[in-house]
Amino acid sequence: MTIVLAHRGASGTKPENTMEAFIAAERAGADGIELDVQLTSDGEIVVIHDTTVDRTTNGSGLVKDFTRSSLQNLKANHHFKHYFKKACKIPTLIEVFDWMQGNECLCNIELKNNIFSYEELEEKVAALIYKYSYEKRIIISSFNHLSLQKMIEICPAVETAPLYNHYLYKPWEYASTLQASGIHPKLKIITNDLIKTTMEFGIHVRPYTINKRRDMKRLFQLNCSAIITDFPEKAVKLKKVL
């Protein structure tokens, strides 16, 4: 059964990586959410995609130079393309984990440390997962495969998957070498055969970002482990009628 993971929440219709987007995804029936984490200057894990706040908020500058409280004073829906009356803020990972206590959502945490390496990001994320006993509800991914390896060592009970956007020879072997349980490839670099073979080796395949109906349909019919989409509502509705 293919599960639906909402990319940065229901980011096609709500401001990305905000509680509003995560709540909308859960209400739409998504099995889980995907989000991006970085560290503030005072060491808080915050949920934001870019290394700067410029694209998504009314502020300017590097995420790593903000304190948690100054970051949370910014409007996270400032540049959102659709009308969105309510002011949204950048959530902390703790706020997301608190919200998850009231539902059964899975959470794919992407360690956004492929540009800046955040000191002890892996340890901080692992400590929080254990504190909330979310070992079975979290999937960790990253484009930084060294960081992913570190996560696998300190948090072996949690599912992990390398993100990648270029051709990879025998990705199931690569995942096994890393001791990761899955792969998160960009859609355009994988074929049906590659998905099938990888899954036959017991490695989960969760491609991103699947927004077109025809791609969703193909992956559902292949029984791919998951799809990562900006439009969870559309995916959930389609899955029901297939």
- Contact between 36 and Ca ion per CB under 5 A: yes
79 is catalytic: no
Burial class (CB in 10 A: 0-12, 13-18, 19+), 62: middle
Active-site entry in 49, 78, 79, 166 = 49
Burial class (CB in 10 A: 0-12, 13-18, 19+), 166: exposed
According to CB under 6 A, which one of 7, 14, 89, 234 is a site residue for ligand G3P? 7
Q: Are 242 and 214 in contact (CB under 8 A)?
A: no
Q: How far is the CB of 130 from ligand G3P (least distance, A)?
A: 23
Partner whose binding site includes residue 163, from ligand G3P, Ca ion, none (CB under 5 to 8 Å by kind) = ligand G3P
Query: Which residue is nearest to ligand G3P, using beta carbons?
Result: 208
User: Could you tell me how far CA 135 lies from the centroid of its own chain?
Assistant: 16
- Contact between 110 and Ca ion per CB under 5 A: yes
204 is catalytic: no
- Contact between 16 and Ca ion per CB under 5 A: no
- Contact between 30 and ligand G3P per CB under 6 A: no
Binding site for ligand G3P (CB under 6 A): 7, 34, 36, 49, 110, 141, 163, 184, 208, 228
Active site residues: 7, 49
